[in-house]
Amino acid sequence: MNKEWNKLVEKHKPLLDEYKSAPVGKGWWILIDSACSLMEDKEMKPEGFTQIKEKFGGLRFYFGVSNLKDKSWPKMDQFIGSIEYMSWFICEDCGSHDNVTTEGNWKKTLCKNCRKVREN
Ligand SMILES: [Zn+2]
């Protein structure tokens, strides 16, 4: 168990309870932090995530909508979508914004340095 990850789980209780270990690399935890803050919106009252994962190189959030008021749903979708979009510009391993690309057989969004580390 990672201390830093546990802190995030603790901060956003009970949203991340099922994630005993982080679903994605450390570089994206700041995005999970932001998405959790959105999920805690008192006015919109979303239900939380059904899944958080990396898909085709990008961060994806899946969340329940049955509690959302009709007007809140497109708004929440847009908010979460913009957080997902940011993941394309942030290295999943280290959080760097420099020289970040999405490539490889198994698509990964990484900076130049982290890609080198993984390839070796
Ligand atoms: Zn990196």
Give residue-wise pLDDT tens across range 64-111.
777 677 777 888 889 999 999 999 999 999 999 999 999 988 899 999
Output the CA 109–ligand 1 centroid distance in Å. Answer: 9
Domain count, the chain: 1
Output the CA 38–ligand 1 centroid distance in Å. Answer: 26
Output the CA 101–ligand 1 centroid distance in Å. Answer: 10
Output the CA 116–ligand 1 centroid distance in Å. Answer: 9
Give residue-wise pLDDT tens across range 47-56.
788 999 999 9
- CA pair distance 77, 71, nearest whole angstrom: 11
Amino acid 12 reads: H
Output the CA 81–ligand 1 centroid distance in Å. Answer: 22
Output the CA 3–ligand 1 centroid distance in Å. Answer: 20
Terminal CA-to-CA distance of the chain, rounded, Å? 25
pTM recorded for the entire structure:
0.91
Domain, as residue range, for 16: 3-119
Question: Which pLDDT score, from 0 to 100, does residue 71 have?
Answer: 75
Report how far apart, in Å, the C-alpha atoms of 113 and of each of 16, 90, 105, 120 are.
30, 13, 18, 11
Output the CA 110–ligand 1 centroid distance in Å. Answer: 5
Give residue-wise pLDDT tens across range 36-49.
998 888 777 677 88
